Amino acid sequence: MVQDFKLASRDYKKEDTIIQVGDVEIGGNDFVMIAGPCAVESEAQLMTTAYEVKNSGANILRGGAYKPRTSPHSFQGLGEEGLILLAKTREEINIPIITEVMDTRDVKLVEKYADILQIGTRNMQNFSLLKEVGCTQKPVLLKRGMMATIYDFLLSAEYILNEGNENVILCERGIRTFESLTRNTLDLSAIPIIKKLSHLPIIVDPSHSTGRRDLVKPMTKAAIAAGAHGAMIEVHIERDKALCDGNQSLTPQDFLNLMQEIQPLIKFIKTQQSLQII
Ligand code: PEP
Ligand code: MN
């Protein structure tokens, strides 16, 4: 098979890449949970959510300050004000933060505030942006393009690695198919395939891939069983009033239930992995 990616490949680096973010290790033995609202809406919303998800066991807080919306008339995010709220919440609650950067012109600013830079599905092949985040010192979470093959995905990771930033986390967030009962189709097979082809950590986003709150828990369990290193889940304190993605957001109580239900599964899968059964 022709392989155009090199730095991202298992041939280049045999051992798994483990990325350290504060006390959290992504790509190691622990299943890392990233949780929080789709968008930062207000200080109260973010603080309360952060407090709740951390208490339930989340390791990292998510929240968009720059939102890539399909319509220009939809809420676009609070911009720098959102970044300031994220940084304030990190200090208060003591939890690392991840947030999306959409534009090369904002990379320096977002880098100043965030612990992890997120590249969204729509920008997976924005090569100028990939190169720009490749020049930063911060870990980058790269989401799979909704119409990208696994090869395209790994080649985009290659752009970041090629600039010298070795801390790339991959995120399977669903691809477009003809199915209309879900927002996208979660490609679970990408997890074992990527683990074979690459040393980079791979996590799953069951919120954006399904677009349905009722599917978040079963798809998180499926991702754990498939060997993912973590998940990113949207949580909103008042989802009926959410400025974006309320339909796929869990309440803090749903999130706590999910965290409790997945613990035995995580334990079981770890045992199987250490016995090399899967
Ligand atoms: C997000 O995680 O906030 C987001 C916009 O996701 P995606 O880029 O996968 O649509
Ligand atoms: Mn969202």
pLDDT, tens digit, for every residue of 209-239?
999 999 999 999 999 999 999 999 999 999 9
Q: What is the pLDDT of residue 18?
A: 98
Give the Cα separation of 84 and 102 in Å (integer).
Answer: 17
> Cβ < 6 Å from ligand 1: which residues?
38, 64, 68, 100, 120-121, 143, 173, 205, 208
Count of beta carbons in the 10 Å neighbourhood of residue 127:
12
pLDDT of residue 136: 98
The shares of helix, strand and coil residues in the chain, as percent rounded to the nearest 5, are 40, 15, 40
- State residue 175 phi and psi, 5-degree precision: -125, 160
248, 219 contact by CB (below 8 A): no
pLDDT of residue 3: 63
pLDDT score for 273 = 81
Q: Which residue shows structure tokens 């709150």?
A: 213
- Distance CA(93)–CA(110), nearest Å, equals 20
* Cα separation values, 201 from 51, 156, 196, Å: 26, 15, 11
Using the atom order of ligand 1, give the atom closest to the CA of residue 38: 3
**Which stretches in the chain have pLDDT values below 50?**
none
Ligand 2: distance of its center to the CA of 1 in Å?
A: 36
Residue nearest to atom 8 of ligand 1 (CA): 120
Handedness of CA 54, 60, 208, 71 (dihedral sign): positive
Residue 171 CA, closest ligand 1 atom number: 9
Residue 25 confidence (pLDDT): 98
**Which residue from 22, 29, 56 is spatially nearest to 254, judged by alpha carbons?**
56
Q: What pLDDT was estimated at residue 140?
A: 99
> Which pLDDT score is estimated for 272?
86
- In angstroms, the CA 100 to CA 87 distance is 14
How many whole angstroms separate alpha carbon 96 and alpha carbon 114?
Answer: 8
Contact call for residues 183 and 211 (beta carbons, < 8 A) = yes
> Hey, what amino acid is at 190?
A
Q: How far is the CA of 74 from the centre of ligand 1 (A)?
A: 15
- The ligand with the least distance to the CA atom of 64 is 1
pLDDT, position 278: 67
Distance CA 251, CA 5 (A): 40
